[in-house]
Structure 1
Amino acid sequence: MGQQENLTLLPMSSSSSSAAAAADAAPSPAASGRLFTAGLVAAWYASNIGVLLLNKFLLSTYGFRYPVFLTACHMSACALLSYAAAAVSASSRAARRQQPTAPRRSRGQLARVALLGAVFCASVVAGNVSLRYLPVSFNQAVGATTPFFTAVLAYAVAARREACATYATLIPVVAGVVIATGGEPSFHLFGFIMCIGATAARALKTVLQGILLSSEEEKLNPMDLLGYMAPVAVILLIPATFIMERNVLSMVTALAREDPSFIWILLCNSSLAYFVNLTNFLVTKHTSPLTLQVLGNAKGAVAVVVSILIFRNPVTFMGMLGYGITVAGVVLYGEAKKRSK
């Protein structure tokens, strides 16, 4: 009896030791989660900086001076890939025999989405136009003033006030850009105006998006919102392209014949525009708002360094000092907002 018990216990102890060894070898769930989040952040950085550099390459270095058409390509890719993602999600729910969740949208919400799509479209077009005339480093310095425009427009549109300390932190945000502007050797007035316009439109989009996403009755997540906004932007951009850039199709055809890689660059650039939004959504979902803000500030600095290394645009001490002051102001702004809540 005892011998029989020994025979049955030996395999159990062996399997237990094997399981323990496997448990020791396998990464912990926390470590796996951190690794997954790090991968998402890396993908967000790569897609965001990649689309920025490709835009600059196409619009400036390559000589493809059609920013409205380029934006139309971006929005078309966002619309198509959003539809494909929705179709995959629907088929996955059908395979699991789950009821589809397709909430009805009111006319008021669709009108707000259309307005948001128009603002989004304007911000991307103006940003692409500015890249024709300004280096990426200065473009990012001006773009860092988004919190200033967000605070101003939040008060103007939604009557949302911030604490006095929060408004005080916006002083170095603006002062840094003023310093960077004075020390920018490649300054171009029209490009600067377009960059300011893009930044203000981006801030307005953030304010309107916050209002739309906070509605409990008609709640949308950011990726669903992109799926609604992108077709609106395409509808607006197609006629704008043919009015403002009439010879773009003949130019695209000619470039494709001369350089077949041009089409691949255009497709890659357009697809990255969607993945910027997708990875931003996933990083937002898997991190805290404070972490996202810190990562966003670091992303801008990384983009500046990478663009200088690639495009070799001249930079001055005053320019870098101004950008540093702006980034410091943005960090202080985030801290002040966190304390005021």
Structure 2
Amino acid sequence: MSSSKKEAIFIASLIILWYSSNIGVLLLNKLLLSNYGFGFPIFLTMCHMSACALLSYISIVFLKVVPLQTLQSRSQFLKVATLSLVFCGSVVGGNISLRYLPVSFNQAVGATTPFFTALFAYLMTFKREAWVTYACLVPVVGGVIIASGGEPSFHLFGFIMCISATAARAFKSVLQGILLSSEEEKLNSMNLLLYMSPIAVVALIPAVFIMEPNVLEVFVSLGIQHRFMWMVLLLNSVMAYSANLTNFLVTKNTSALTLQVLGNAKGAVAVVISILLFQNPVTTIGIGGYTMTVLGVAAYGEAKRRYK
């Protein structure tokens, strides 16, 4: 087999694993939080972060997936800690929203990330894009407004948490560019995850005890009632790390444009699979709104590429 064919198979395998991990985490989150009735999104996030901390250490220190980068100063540590707390808030918010919203609508709202990224980039760095780029954000937001009106399972609190999680995710990406902008302080995404994850776990432990004090009791009870729940939680946590690892590897082995297209398609695939699995009702208006958002995101990506 030629080297080009081997490379194509390798990249295709990475993309499949990336899709499977991302969509798997979403669906298993929904299964645990709604179907199993395990309504503890903060504890669930702590499990994800614990798995990311352990598996990042194994991957980088023992398996040498990427070279280990060390933190150079207390200032750099504080910057990473700030990013960790913002990232942690976005994951918690996303998990809370899945208690109340179907995965399909959750993905529709999540597709507005470019809008918040552009907004925070302008507010925090005064970075301006071409007017065409901003015009492409109109259907991104408009599509979600239309999808919200046509969503049979719309829940206001779930929607607010989902929007907050999406905004926090965008804020983290902009903040990361500002805080870790110097060459000495830059960390690749896997090393950043290695340092962010344990900080997130430390922050989440007291939050779990204060806000979800009966989690262990319910966890044991549901584990006895549902034989495979513990296995689902373990698989879910491993997939959370796999999603980060494969995202890094896909980014490394493909172009930015390819990643943009694949990311848009991933959201659409997640929507279709979630509707088939969970049988949540959808309307023509909702589908139309989500389609408008995805097309707007695709146009935004293309406009950024052309007018940068």
2:136 to 158, 164, 169: 169
Local SS of the residue matching 1:65:
coil
In structure 1, the partner of 2:98 is 131
| Aligned-residue offset at 1:212 | 4.4
What CA distance in whole angstroms lies between the structure 1 residues aligned with 2:118 and 2:254? 23
In structure 1, the partner of 2:31 is 57
In structure 2, the partner of 1:235 is 202
Amino acid at match of 2:10: F
What CA distance in whole angstroms lies between the structure 2 residues aligned with 1:77 and 1:338? 35
* Larger deviation, residues 188-197 vs 247-256: 247-256
1:74-107, CA deviations, whole angstroms, 9 ceiling, x for partnerless residues?
00000011111123146x99xxxxxx86545222
In structure 1, the partner of 2:107 is 140
In structure 2, the partner of 1:268 is 235
The verdict on how the C-alpha distance between 1:161 and 1:119 changes in structure 2, with shifts beyond 3 A counting, is same
In structure 2, the partner of 1:304 is 271
What CA distance in whole angstroms lies between the structure 1 residues aligned with 2:72 and 2:94? 31
Do 2:108 and 2:293's aligned partners in 1 also have CA atoms closer than 8 Å?
Answer: yes
Do 2:71 and 2:77's aligned partners in 1 also have CA atoms closer than 8 Å?
Answer: no
Structure 2 residues without counterparts, runs of 5 or longer: none
2:162 to 195, 206, 212: 195
| Aligned-residue offset at 1:210 | 2.7
- Normalised to the residue count of structure 1, the TM-score between the two structures is 0.88
Do 2:60 and 2:68's aligned partners in 1 also have CA atoms closer than 8 Å?
Answer: no
- Taking the TM superposition and a 5 Å limit, the aligned residue runs for 1:254-265 are 254-265=221-232
| Aligned-residue offset at 1:206 | 1.2
1:36-61, CA deviations, whole angstroms, 9 ceiling, x for partnerless residues?
00000000000000000000011011
Do 2:149 and 2:286's aligned partners in 1 also have CA atoms closer than 8 Å?
Answer: yes
What CA distance in whole angstroms lies between the structure 1 residues aligned with 2:230 and 2:97? 23
What CA distance in whole angstroms lies between the structure 2 residues aligned with 1:128 and 1:190? 13
Local SS of the residue matching 1:215:
coil
2:118 to 151, 159, 174: 151
Do 1:213 and 1:221's aligned partners in 2 also have CA atoms closer than 8 Å?
Answer: no
1:204-247, CA deviations, whole angstroms, 9 ceiling, x for partnerless residues?
11112233454212221100000011011101111001110010
In structure 2, the partner of 1:224 is 191
Amino acid at match of 2:56: S
1:297-335, CA deviations, whole angstroms, 9 ceiling, x for partnerless residues?
000000000000000000000000000000010001001
1:239-274, CA deviations, whole angstroms, 9 ceiling, x for partnerless residues?
001110010011112222333311111100011000
**Larger gyration radius, structure 1 or structure 2:** 1
Do 1:166 and 1:333's aligned partners in 2 also have CA atoms closer than 8 Å?
Answer: yes
Q: Does 1:76 align with 2:50?
A: yes
1:116 to 83, 86, 92: 83
Aligned CA-pair RMSD: 1.5
In structure 2, the partner of 1:326 is 293
2:148 to 150, 171, 181: 181
What CA distance in whole angstroms lies between the structure 2 residues aligned with 1:28 and 1:211? 43
In structure 2, the partner of 1:14 is none
Amino acid at match of 1:62: Y
Local SS of the residue matching 1:185:
coil
Q: Percent identity?
A: 66
Q: Does 1:314 align with 2:288?
A: no
Q: Does 1:40 align with 2:7?
A: no
Structure having greater relative contact order (Cα 8 Å, sep ≥ 6): 2
What CA distance in whole angstroms lies between the structure 2 residues aligned with 1:104 and 1:181? 43
Do 1:122 and 1:201's aligned partners in 2 also have CA atoms closer than 8 Å?
Answer: yes
What CA distance in whole angstroms lies between the structure 1 residues aligned with 2:44 and 2:101? 17
